[in-house]
Amino acid sequence: MTYQQDLRLIRLREVLAICGMSRSSVYDAIKKGEFPAPVKLCGRSSAWVWSEVIHWVENCIRTYRQ
């Protein structure tokens, strides 16, 4: 994984495709501190750090397979 890829910002549509959760489930998990929070860009725009979402998915897989 490259440094640029680590810092890549992704929008909600891609987050949902990666994690397989619904929009409301993602925001519920964020409120509970169980999912990475988005980064505010400007105004009402926000995005997620790609590597944080990927690490969350990897952790879910590790937890499930233990």
Domains of the chain: 3-65 (1.10.1660)
Tens digit of pLDDT for each residue in 7-19?
899 999 999 999 9
The span from the first CA to the last CA of the chain, in angstroms, equals: 25
Residue 6 has a pLDDT of 76
pLDDT category, 66, cuts 50, 70, 90? Answer: confident
pTM strictly above 0.95: no
Start-end of H helices in 1-66? 3-6, 12-19, 23-31, 50-65
- Contact assessment for residue 30 and residue 37, using Cβ atoms and an 8 Å cutoff: yes
